[in-house]
């Protein structure tokens, strides 16, 4: 993970928490939960302040939440039923561990060259037939936003191709746009795939 990006989330955790509080009612999140087996084991990758992790826990899932920001991990650890630990994308290892992996606007902070490796690790960590969610901002290239976070932007077909190459079967694609911490509205894509 990029040190400047981690430093932003450490310093701005409270402001970011207020911005993403609405995630608890996200229809994509709720549909993801509905598609999981009862008592599913879930990884919330790049969990931020832990809103989604808390929703998973309330739904009866066994939740592991990871983030590169120590402050975000501390916030998430306060959520009932959630196991939170500090970890970068490269520290996600293991085989057939999770029924679902939720990577909501987290992998977009990884350099493009690293994405195939990260997706391969997610595929390995998923149980056979497990569910994977990934959401990223759409566009092209890599750059820092106005508040110094590193972003890698993807086209819809590009992301679908990366997932297919990693061994996933994409079952749903959604697009939209939303306001970010930097005050700009940006388009995004969310894909659900089976491992």
Residue-wise pLDDT for 107-128, tens only, equals 999 999 999 999 999 999 999 9
**pTM confidence score:** 0.93
- Write out 105-118 in H/E/C secondary structure: CCHHHCCHHHHHHH
Q: Which architecture, in CATH terms, is 3-194?
A: 3-Layer(aba) Sandwich (3.40)
Is-contact 97 41, C-beta < 8 A?
yes
Compare 9 and 167 and report the one with higher pLDDT.
Answer: 167
- In this predicted structure, the answer to whether residue 146 has a pLDDT above a threshold of 70 is yes
Is-contact 65 50, C-beta < 8 A?
yes
Give residue 22's pLDDT.
62
Give residue 18's pLDDT.
65
Is-contact 15 74, C-beta < 8 A?
no
> Residue ranges per domain, the chain?
3-194
Is-contact 104 148, C-beta < 8 A?
no
- Residue-wise pLDDT for 155-186, tens only, equals 999 999 999 999 999 999 999 998 877 778 89
Cβ contacts of 162-167, under 8 Å, gap ≥ 24: 162/115, 162/116, 162/119, 163/119, 163/132, 163/134, 163/191, 163/193, 165/116, 165/119, 166/116, 166/119, 166/120, 166/122, 166/123, 167/120, 167/123, 167/195
What's the rounded Cα separation, in Å, for the pair 170 and 191? 7
Compare 64 and 149 and report the one with higher pLDDT.
Answer: 64
Give residue 153's pLDDT.
96
- In this predicted structure, the answer to whether residue 81 has a pLDDT above a threshold of 80 is yes
- Residue-wise pLDDT for 18-77, tens only, equals 666 666 678 999 999 999 999 999 999 999 999 999 999 999 999 999 999 999 999 999
Give residue 21's pLDDT.
67
Give residue 168's pLDDT.
98
């Amino acid at each position: 993970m990029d040190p400047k990006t981690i430093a932003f989330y450490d310093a701005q955790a409270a402001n970011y928490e207020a911005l993403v509080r609405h995630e608890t009612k996200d229809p994509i999140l709720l549909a993801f939960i509905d598609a999981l087996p009862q008592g599913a084991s879930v990884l919330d990758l790049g969990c931020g302040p832990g809103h989604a992790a808390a929703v998973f826990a309330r739904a009866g899932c066994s939740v592991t939440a990871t983030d590169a920001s120590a402050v975000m991990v501390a916030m998430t650890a306060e959520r009932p039923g959630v196991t939170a630990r500090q970890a970068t994308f490269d520290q996600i290892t293991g085989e057939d561990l999770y029924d679902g992996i939720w990577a909501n606007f987290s992998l977009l902070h990884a350099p493009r060259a690293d994405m195939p490796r990260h997706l391969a690790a997610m595929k390995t960590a998923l149980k056979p037939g497990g569910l994977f969610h990934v959401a990223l901002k759409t566009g092209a290239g890599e750059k820092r936003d106005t508040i110094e976070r590193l972003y890698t932007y993807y086209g819809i077909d590009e992301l679908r191709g990366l997932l297919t190459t990693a061994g996933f079967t994409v079952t749903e694609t959604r697009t939209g746009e939303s306001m970010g911490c930097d005050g700009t509205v940006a388009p995004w894509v969310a894909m659900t795939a089976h491992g």
